Structure 1
Amino acid sequence: MSFDYSKYKHGEVLPFLPPKHDPITEPDWRKVPQPKPFIVRPPKGAPNVLIVLLDQTSYSDPSTFGGAINFPTLDKLASEGLTYTNFHCNSLCSPSRTALLTGRNQHQNSQSAVVDGATSYPGDTGIRPKTVAPLAEILRQWGYCTAMFGKSHETPPWETSVAGPFDHWPARQGFEKFYGFIGGEKNLFSPYLVDGTTELGVPRDPDYHFSVDITNKAIAWIRATRSLAPDRPFMMYYAAGGSHPPHTPPKEWLDVYKGKFDQGWDKLREEILERQLKMGVIPPGTKMAPNPPDIAKWDDLPDDAKEVLSRQMEVYAGYCEHTDREIGRLVQAIDDLGDKDNTIIVYIAGDNGGTAIGALNGTFNEWSNLNGAPEDIEYLKTRMHEYGGPKSYPNYAVGWAMAGSTPATWCINACQGGGQNQGMVIRWPKGFKSKGEYRTQYAHFIDIAPTILEAAGIPEPKWVNGVEQIPIAGTPMAYSFDDAKAKDRHTVQYNECTGNRSIYKDGWMACVMHRAPWEDRPRVDSYDKDTWELYYLPDDFGQANDLAKKEPAKLKELQELFHQEAIKFGVYPMDDRSFERLNASVAGRPDIMGDRKEMVLYAGMGGMAENVFIDTLSRSLTVTADIVIPKGGAKGVLVSQGGLFGGWSLYVKDNKPKLAYNWLARELYEIEGSEALPEGKVQVVYDFDYDGGGPNKGGTGSLSINGKKVGEGRIEKTHGAVWSLAGETADVGVDAYSPVTEDYDPWDNAFTGEIVEIRIRHKD
């Protein structure tokens, strides 16, 4: 049975089919009129689109929203466009980003939490269903030039290797050009980059910085497409690395804010609130919500703690401003090409509130907390001279995230306050007359895609690539462009993350803090024991006045509404596990390694994130390297995993085998062979016996050559949970990206002999 196209309007079925032609019976081309080429173009006057997204920036960090950090680009766009002060995100990265890119709610995209923690529940598989076509794919099929630069954290981790599949990579999600990284974060000085679906080596530039690189690449792409195809509008998604950890700006930005946060986070909140009220960012009379009890009062902290903590915010602020200025270079390049008037720029200053992984003290090395080895103030002070530089992987204390949430509190992973408030600015000179004004209508990430489609005159498709689509959940925002007093059209919105949840309706919001972002476990053992809060946001934008006890009927109404929305959008069941979900077998998601206890590796294999590599954490294992040593000996890396902030490397130095184990950039354990490797075929074995007794314990390692033990030593502390998720990789024949050890050159460390094969085998 053929598809009935007559039931649908133009553009509701994609792709467009070329016109049918009757069979040609005339053999002479001179006698046959030539048909016009079949070319798809968007409606006349369709605008260019630039969507800019910052990462883990808090609502009131930017000067645009009363913050203490200078955001000149965001400020300029706000003066030339509209500032949305009542804009909202989901409380984690992947859910927000899929909502932005599709116009559907997080569970419709099957992104309940970060994709690295996906399960097999329908709303949490980490796999965007084909019933949800991304905005980029829709615009691409309408003839737009499409590109993405920066961070992509929507690809299932078990699909991120050279084995694919590549269906969920940005280059197969409607972006004809992708340059950036796949995963939650990267070392900004030596990132693991991807161009399309091709993995790239580490940039060999001592002055390299990711934010500068993606901006350069984005500008080059804009200029090239305007030169080659000026008749086709462009759609670019610029997903900045900033201000996500690691907080590592270029060197010249480390001290720009020196001394600017010595007053501490409590005073900073007061200063921000005063500016917000004066600027009109928040309603008159707005009160500031108190911080959670876990957040220390600044005046109660010892001087050493104040010195450490204020430095963290100085570096973060410099990182934020540098990121914004790089975005300014991109905006200026577009304006210089004459595309300013008909380019919609949507600049969203954050995707899930400020980060909490730094917990109460902050970290020099983010992976410390995740591996059960938090850093105290005494230790942090010893590393302050390196903080923010290329030998650090830092993250500020959560108290600064709370300050950035002013007038509310909370941060990432919270479905209220700073975990769902974000600032957003739109500039479109040709599309609306208003300039430099605030808009207070409720809006959400899911509203961006339908707004772009409406602006371009492109209908929401009903079928895409042969699959019937579920309706877009978002509300176009154009109704508010030239009408500051327009009645809200987005009136209901749920939010959920690992049991934290909220429901908004007509100004009211009911919410639950099931587990604070820095807490190890939920506060109660079942969802029906949670304590609900209730706020009326038009009178209480900061969520300082809990009305749950005063308005029990309204609370009950909203609780029931959340239940209905949860069923409607596939929220249930809610999964309140935390770091346990990083383990694929525990979470119940696919794992490229499956139950394999052994992995065979060959020369040239690289770029393997730990989700697509055999598990080497908290276990006994054997690494066997069959190699060929040339005349005169060899040097270089046989196999490595991780890098500067935690990892291990089996390598050859001075023609002797050596093992380096880097524990969280704090301690380096080395085992060195006492004998040189003979010429010809050689088998080098590294054997590790784990002490057991849970994660993060020690063990004994040994090295042997052709069956003869030539070295032994203790590794007293090990990583027990993660190496770096997707930040660093495992590589054969080289230590790519940042080096595990300084015992060899960070770039020229490739093995100079021949690798026949390397086998890694679990002993348990």
Structure 2
Amino acid sequence: MANRPDTHARSMLPIPDRPKFGHTTYDAKDPETNFPPIEPLLPPEGAPNVLIVLLDDVGFGASTAFGGPCATPNAEKLAAGGLSYNRFHTTALCAPTRAAMLSGRNHHSVAMGSITETATSAPGNSSVRPNTKAPLAMTLKLNGYSTAQFGKCHEVPVWQSSPLGPFDAWPSAGGGFETFYGFIGGENNQWDPALYNGTTPVEPPATPEEGYHLTEDLADHAVNWIRQQKSLMPDRPFFAYFAPGATHAPHHVPEEWPEKYAGQFDDGWDALREATFARQKDLGIIPADAQLTPRPDEITSWDDMPEEMKPILARQMEVYAGFLEHTDHHVGRVIDAIDELGVLDNTIIYYIVGDNGASAEGTMNGAFNEMANFNGMAALETPEFLASKMDEFGTPSAYNHYSVGWAWAMCTPFQWTKQVASHWGGTRNGTIVHWPDGIEEKGGLRTQFTHCIDVAPTILEAAGLPEPTMVNGVQQSPIEGTSMLYTFNEEASPERHDLQYFEMFGNRGIYDQGWSAVTKHKTPWIMVGGDMPAFDDDVWELYDSTSDYSQAVDLSKEHPELLAKLQRKWLIEATKFNVLPMDDRTAERLEPKMAGRPTLVHGDTQKFYPGMGRLSENSVVSIKNKSFSVTAEVDVPAAGIDGVIIAQGGRFGGWAVYAKDGLLKFVYNVLGIEEFIATSDSAVPEGTHQVRAEFAYDGGGLGKGGDVTLYCDGDAIGTGRIGGTQPMVFSADETTDIGYESGTPVGSEYDLVSSKFSGKIHWVQIDLGSDTHDHLIDPEDRHRIAMAQQ
């Protein structure tokens, strides 16, 4: 039976209601009464379901589907029934890749030139997506698709990330997803995540002790949503976007998964890279004449690493490998659910194995708690300390990251890693497309140049939907990607996406008809010291991508005229897509006023009320490196008070004012390594009282200690000593809560259940002292922290 013609005017969204005029009767009982039945809006007949899977911080050479050491059987199974793309590209960073993929436009075009935390007022870096560039989910929803996102967002401007929004950039509002379950920041604790259901904060349904893990939870929600969607709306196709926080740090995984890799990485990253390269050639996933690029001087060889560190480093990689395999397992559960519903054949699946190259943000030694390095306190994590914590890597008591050396090996056979947009190590990610109804070949390889901005136009073409010219009353700018549909059944078809710029923090490059010109401006893991060169002093390289798959042979000296031509083309593309002005500033981009972006926090006083919670660190005045006081008005019952009055941070760093057995307390947790507690000498009596904790900072630098005095109605009732503090950041995902604590507890004397305050809180106020030492923070340190949380 031929498809019925589609009569909807789909280029304007929402599709305008067009009433049908004709004969109208006076009495509905009149036999001539005839109105067409109400029909729900659906996409064109035959439009496929869509599942996009986007993993986090996975290099090209990590998964077994692309020759790596980390088992990904579900990716391999999908590839065997579909197509593998070995020249698919991302932007080199997570938030820009996500914004670009979901809009079909380059990341600077949708204002995500960097991450939200370093947004400026420049059009290409504001983090505010123009309303002229509607996301794919919105287009599909307005054409009759059911839409849902599960997992990581990281596209919300930081000043819109509080519980009050505004929610224009949140997935379930302006993002076009009818359902959202996940997190909005750059990373999350896999065991104790800060979750949202739509725009409402929610707690995980179970504890780590009960077997909770974020990836499994996300898969549960995705599976349940897909089943319900097909049960209630079998004729309506779905668009599901599954974006787990894995395998971004912290590398958290149930203990049985790393154990199967015991001993497999004892030979180190240099040997692993050689082995991966050989497997990639055996699989045919890279050309037979591809070359393995050499190790940069900035990365220490395995042989030159201290012997006492090698077992620790090997364990880091075992945990990561288990983490990636665990992630693939739960991706497989989502795919299996689609198969069990009988709709797999008409579901187009994109399995994008990484939103950028592997993360080189873990230092050469890696980290047990990455917050130590972010606070400039990595020296606390001595080899002896790391050795004592090896068995805890991956568990709820760790916040671990692996070494730069492993990140480099995970990007085999390319140069560099995440953040380095100039070279394929930062931007080339293995990608699999599976669609039995639309792809004839099973297990094929596609080598055409493709990019994450090509996903949206591919899905629109597959669904028979036009690119909209008007969305919600706003005229749309053209999609900038190129549909990949032509590659599905035409293996040898010439590539159509043959011009593409790259830029991230001044690392930049251009691909043009088989040639790539690139220049690296900044090394990700060199965070402090030295001045970056002027952009015009950066040294450009030239590669023939038709014969040099891995960018191994620099031809800039042989073809200076061609290099100059490509440099000029890069500048033209950069001008066209809002890349200019390039911005490698650090401190200026982290200070909202200097960067030109709004901020939620003003002044040196902030007042809170009971029930407030899930306040991100940039939503609360900073008490770091200065004196401060916390005052609260509370009602104390006859039985006395217990629980949290205010808490910021969690198990891996933070502070809290709380009560225990009627006594007022102040706790400061330094990186989960040291805990300092000040306790009142007497209980707070029954009735209404003002309690206060005053912290007198020692001064003389950053991260110093200080004295604590506890008060009740102005009378001192206790003192204590804080031996040290965290100068830069408490957490990437833990928040500030009033009257209870979410996430993980700051203090060891209470848990999440007992954290609920037993009295009544009227208000809580933080007042900052004038003795701030924040001016001593190196601008590069501030930038390092922002970059590490994405």
Common fold: TM-score over 0.5: yes
Question: Cα deviation per residue 1:219-254 (whole Å; 9 max; x = unaligned)?
Answer: 111111101000100000000121111101122223
Shift of 1:579: 6.7
Partner of 1:557: 565
Gaps of 5+ in 1: 1-7
Would the aligned equivalents of 1:219 and 1:330 in 2 still touch at CA under 8 Å?
yes
1:238 aligns with 2:238: no
Partner of 1:186: 188
Q: Distance in 2 between matches of 1:597 and 1:699?
A: 19
2:311 to 307, 312, 315: 307
Secondary structure at 2:9's aligned position in 1? coil
Q: Distance in 2 between matches of 1:53 and 1:90?
A: 13
Partner of 2:521: 514
Partner of 1:504: 511
- CA-based RMSD: 1.7
Q: Distance in 1 between matches of 2:651 and 2:571?
A: 46
Moved over 6 A (4+): none
Shift of 1:362: 0.7
Would the aligned equivalents of 1:103 and 1:472 in 2 still touch at CA under 8 Å?
yes
Partner of 2:13: 14
Secondary structure at 1:262's aligned position in 2? coil
Q: Distance in 1 between matches of 2:713 and 2:95?
A: 48
In structure 2, relative to structure 1, the CA distance for the partners of 1:117 and 1:514 (3 Å cut) is same
Question: Cα deviation per residue 1:700-726 (whole Å; 9 max; x = unaligned)?
Answer: 32211211222333323222222223x
Partner of 2:776: none
In structure 2, relative to structure 1, the CA distance for the partners of 1:755 and 1:612 (3 Å cut) is same
Q: Distance in 2 between matches of 1:106 and 1:708?
A: 56
Q: Distance in 2 between matches of 1:587 and 1:724?
A: 23
Would the aligned equivalents of 1:357 and 1:369 in 2 still touch at CA under 8 Å?
no
Q: Distance in 1 between matches of 2:531 and 2:360?
A: 17
Shift of 1:482: 1.4
2:370 to 359, 366, 378: 366
In structure 2, relative to structure 1, the CA distance for the partners of 1:535 and 1:586 (3 Å cut) is same
Partner of 1:33: 34
In structure 2, relative to structure 1, the CA distance for the partners of 1:629 and 1:23 (3 Å cut) is farther
**1:392 alignment partner AA:** A
**2:143 alignment partner AA:** W
Partner of 1:721: 728
Partner of 1:48: 49
1:581 aligns with 2:581: no
Question: Cα deviation per residue 1:622-664 (whole Å; 9 max; x = unaligned)?
Answer: 1101111100211100000010111111100121111111111
TM normalised by structure 1 equals: 0.96
Partner of 1:618: 625
Partner of 1:170: 171
Would the aligned equivalents of 1:636 and 1:734 in 2 still touch at CA under 8 Å?
yes
Q: Distance in 2 between matches of 1:350 and 1:647?
A: 31
In structure 2, relative to structure 1, the CA distance for the partners of 1:417 and 1:578 (3 Å cut) is farther
Q: Distance in 2 between matches of 1:315 and 1:481?
A: 36
Would the aligned equivalents of 1:204 and 1:747 in 2 still touch at CA under 8 Å?
no
Q: Distance in 1 between matches of 2:593 and 2:704?
A: 21
Would the aligned equivalents of 2:369 and 2:671 in 1 still touch at CA under 8 Å?
yes
**1:110 alignment partner AA:** A
| Aligned residue runs from structure 1 range 82-231, under 5 A | 82-172=83-173, 173-205=175-207, 206=209, 207-231=211-235
**2:46 alignment partner AA:** G
Secondary structure at 2:317's aligned position in 1? helix
Would the aligned equivalents of 1:190 and 1:203 in 2 still touch at CA under 8 Å?
no
Q: Distance in 2 between matches of 1:394 and 1:24?
A: 72
Secondary structure at 1:541's aligned position in 2? coil
**1:399 alignment partner AA:** G
Partner of 1:456: 463
1:293 aligns with 2:302: no
In structure 2, relative to structure 1, the CA distance for the partners of 1:601 and 1:284 (3 Å cut) is same
2:335 to 331, 334, 354: 331
1:639 to 646, 661, 681: 646
Q: Distance in 2 between matches of 1:155 and 1:145?
A: 22
Secondary structure at 2:761's aligned position in 1? strand
Shift of 1:361: 1.1
Q: Distance in 2 between matches of 1:597 and 1:27?
A: 70
**1:747 alignment partner AA:** V
Shift of 1:24: 8.7
Secondary structure at 2:400's aligned position in 1? coil
Q: Distance in 1 between matches of 2:315 and 2:160?
A: 39
Would the aligned equivalents of 1:641 and 1:731 in 2 still touch at CA under 8 Å?
yes
Q: Distance in 1 between matches of 2:719 and 2:581?
A: 49
Would the aligned equivalents of 1:450 and 1:475 in 2 still touch at CA under 8 Å?
yes
**2:167 alignment partner AA:** F
Q: Distance in 2 between matches of 1:523 and 1:418?
A: 24
| Aligned residue runs from structure 1 range 246-645, under 5 A | 246-374=250-378, 375-415=381-421, 416-520=423-527, 524-578=532-586, 581-593=589-601, 595-645=602-652
Shift of 1:383: 1.5
Q: Distance in 1 between matches of 2:566 and 2:666?
A: 58
Would the aligned equivalents of 2:9 and 2:16 in 1 still touch at CA under 8 Å?
no
Q: Distance in 1 between matches of 2:181 and 2:570?
A: 39
Secondary structure at 1:170's aligned position in 2? coil
Secondary structure at 1:75's aligned position in 2? helix
Q: Distance in 2 between matches of 1:736 and 1:66?
A: 41
Would the aligned equivalents of 2:60 and 2:353 in 1 still touch at CA under 8 Å?
yes
Shift of 1:609: 0.8
Q: Distance in 1 between matches of 2:477 and 2:699?
A: 49
Would the aligned equivalents of 1:524 and 1:530 in 2 still touch at CA under 8 Å?
no
Shift of 1:603: 0.8
**2:196 alignment partner AA:** V
2:736 to 720, 730, 751: 730
Shift of 1:33: 2.1
Partner of 2:787: none
Shift of 1:202: 4.2
Gaps of 5+ in 2: 1-6, 771-790
Answer with 89-98 or 477-486: which moved more: 477-486
